[in-house]
């Protein structure tokens, strides 16, 4: 999961090499925000160097098939351009910049020959999505105590509350305090249940780069009132001519305003769904779960938690949204969120979620919950994209490529988020055509979008 507008990732690789029975530490440290690169590498093959670069920067890296080199380099605090020249030597490269670097092309004969996507080296320390010092709790309907009393008893801070459903998000001094409070609360007769809270990432598009301006939406039919998509994501930037497809947005994280001309993740999903619905567009209800972040180029933060996702689902479903688009995910398996989705599914609500932009077969939630349509992405050849998750829980595959327009500027986006939005749009269009439940069409849509390795 990558973002091109800002990133600071340091990559340190350790390997054993022996030329004279000595050990050395090989490193490649890439600090993009400071435009500074350090390297001390010995006899690395070209593919390994490119994999490290892709991992460290989040760029899409393409190499000419058959290109090869053995690379050794030692330097400190070089700029990105100078570092690439030192690392790649006689091998040619080109970089495409747009509010940061989006794409690196490496070739020996011609730039157009660089067609092979380099898979970024996998992270050695996967993110822990568990928020150790937080709990989500639910009081029984006839509870004899208030949440304030329980918070005082366990020395917790109430971060968020849903009094209508008796659900609360509690924060403790540290993980040890949270664990002790959990034992206490689980034995309290006034508690319905106690669960952990997990962070949830949005699968940021693998690629987001400016492209030729002037792309326009071909659709302009009357919007149907019988189907509403619940888009649970970041804030959507309103664009002229598209307001009629959007219902008044809801936020579960306070006031959030998107800034700048770079598409938010929600904007990309919104426009991708519209394009996918063709001449049968449904209304789209945006439910914002990512808080504002003034330091972000597009005004929204990177992560939210399962508590906010659950709150958004409740608000979207209660507002009449069906299907629900979840272009987000993480490894945190929350029984609380899973049960909520299961209960809604029994009532005919359809959930479509992204499998994640990490090659492999790891479970990603909420996509892996029973009843959720898990979507992965295909590449230009119609087969599984190199960046896409292909776990056994994945049920459908759609193109991971989309072009969206913000303030007259077109942007390319790519990832399982995009594929998920396409499937959601396709399903909603089917339901809109005859004003039926999306659940009626789910099996047909999934069957038409098989996963192709």
Q: Which of 117, 141, 171 is the last residue of a domain?
A: 117
Q: Are residues 142 and 262 in the same domain?
A: no
The answer to whether the CB of 170 falls within 8 A of the CB of 109 is no
Alpha-carbon gap, residue 425 to 421, rounded angstroms:
6
Above pLDDT 70, what percent of the chain?
Answer: 82
More confident: 255 or 183: 183
Q: Are residues 375 and 425 in the same domain?
A: yes
**Same domain membership, residue 281 and residue 224:** yes
In a domain, 395, yes or no: yes
Confirm whether 72 is domain-assigned. Answer: yes
Assess if residue 434 is contained within a domain: yes
Regarding whether 195 and 211 lie in a shared domain, the answer is: no
What's the per-residue H, E or C state across 53-87?
HHHHHCCEEEECCCCCCEEEEEEEEECHHHHHHHH
According to DSSP, residue 50 is labeled: H
State how far the Cα of 353 lies from the Cα of 172, in Å rounded to an integer.
Answer: 31
One domain, residues 86 and 146: no
Q: Where residue 11 falls among pLDDT bands split at 50, 70, 90?
A: very low
Residue 391 in any domain: the answer is yes
Task: Give the integer Cα–Cα distance in Å for 94 and 102.
Answer: 11
Residue range 25-46: mean pLDDT, rounded: 77
At 65 the pLDDT is 85
Within this chain, do residues 277 and 399 fall inside the same structural domain, yes or no?
yes
Q: Are 351 and 319 in contact (CB under 8 A)?
A: no
Domain final position from 178, 199, 220: 199
Structure tokens given for 62: 């393409």
Output the DSSP codes for 137-192: EEE-TT-SS-HHHHHHHHT-EEEEEETTTTEEEEE-SSHHHHHHHHHHHHT-TTEE
Task: Say how far apart CA 192 and CA 136 lie, in whole Å.
Answer: 11
The answer, yes or no, to whether residue 206 has pLDDT greater than 70, is no
pLDDT at 102: 60
Same domain, 163 and 252: no
Q: Outline where DSSP puts E strands in 252-298.
A: 282-288
Residue 65 lies in domain: 27-117
Contacts of 378 (CB under 8 A, 6+ apart): 384, 385, 388, 397, 398, 399, 400, 419, 452
pLDDT the model gives residue 364: 93
Record the tokens describing residue 288, joined without a space.
């914002």
Check residue 310 and give its pLDDT: 94
Find the mean pLDDT for residues 181-192.
94
Last residue of a domain, one of 143, 171, 199: 199
CATH number, domain with residue 277 = 3.40.50.200
- Check whether residue 52 and residue 154 sit in a common domain: no
Regarding whether 403 and 254 lie in a shared domain, the answer is yes
Q: Mean pLDDT over all residues of the chain? A: 82
290 and 438 together in one domain: yes
Whether residue 55 is contained in a domain is answered as yes
> Does the pTM of the predicted model rise above 0.95?
no
Query: Quick one: DSSP state of residue 218?
Result: -
Number of domains in the chain: 3
Q: Which two tokens stand for residue 151?
A: 């918070």
* 243 and 318, same domain (yes or no): yes
């Amino acid at each position: 999961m990558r973002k091109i507008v800002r990133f600071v990732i340091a990559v340190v690789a350790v390997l054993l090499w022996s030329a004279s029975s000595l050990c050395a530490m090989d490193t490649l440290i890439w600090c993009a925000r400071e435009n500074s690169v350090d390297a001390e590498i010995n006899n690395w093959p070209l593919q390994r160097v490119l994999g490290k670069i892709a991992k460290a920067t989040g760029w899409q890296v393409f190499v000419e098939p058959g290109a090869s080199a053995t690379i050794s380099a030692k330097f400190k605090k070089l700029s990105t351009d100078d570092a690439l020249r030192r690392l790649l030597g006689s091998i040619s490269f080109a970089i495409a910049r747009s509010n940061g670097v989006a794409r690196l092309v490496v070739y020996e004969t011609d730039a157009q020959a660089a067609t092979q996507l380099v898979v970024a080296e996998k992270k050695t320390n996967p993110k822990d999505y568990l928020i150790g010092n937080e709990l989500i709790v639910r009081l029984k309907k006839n509870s004899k105590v208030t949440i304030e009393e329980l918070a005082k008893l366990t020395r917790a801070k109430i971060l968020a509350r849903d009094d209508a459903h008796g659900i609360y998000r509690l924060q403790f001094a540290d993980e040890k305090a949270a664990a002790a409070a959990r034992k206490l609360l689980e034995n309290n007769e006034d508690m319905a249940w106690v669960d952990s809270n997990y962070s949830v990432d949005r699968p940021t598009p693998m690629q987001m780069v400016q492209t030729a301006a002037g792309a326009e939406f071909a659709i302009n039919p009357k919007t149907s009132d019988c189907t509403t998509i619940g888009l649970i994501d970041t804030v959507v930037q309103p664009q002229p001519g598209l307001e009629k497809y959007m219902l008044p947005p809801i936020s579960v994280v306070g006031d959030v305003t998107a800034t700048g001309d770079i598409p938010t993740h929600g904007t990309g999903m919104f426009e991708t769904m519209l394009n996918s619905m063709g001449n049968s567009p449904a209304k789209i209800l945006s439910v914002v779960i990512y808080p504002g972040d003034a330091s972000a180029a597009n005004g929204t933060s990177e992560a939210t938690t399962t508590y906010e996702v659950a709150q958004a689902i409740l608000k979207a479903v209660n507002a009449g949204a069906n299907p629900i688009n979840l272009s987000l995910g993480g490894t945190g398996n929350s029984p609380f969120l899973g049960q909520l989705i299961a209960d809604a599914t029994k009532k005919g609500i359809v959930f479509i979620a992204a499998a994640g932009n990490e090659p492999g077969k790891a479970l990603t939630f909420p996509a892996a919950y029973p009843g959720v349509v898990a979507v992965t992405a295909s590449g230009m050849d119609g087969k599984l994209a190199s960046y896409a998750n292909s776990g056994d829980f994945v049920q459908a595959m759609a193109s991971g490529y989309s072009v969206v327009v913000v303030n007259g500027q077109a942007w390319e986006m790519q990832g399982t988020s995009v594929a998920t939005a396409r499937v959601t749009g396709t399903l909603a269009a089917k339901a809109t055509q005859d004003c039926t439940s999306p659940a009626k069409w789910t099996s047909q849509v999934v069957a038409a979008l098989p996963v192709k390795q």
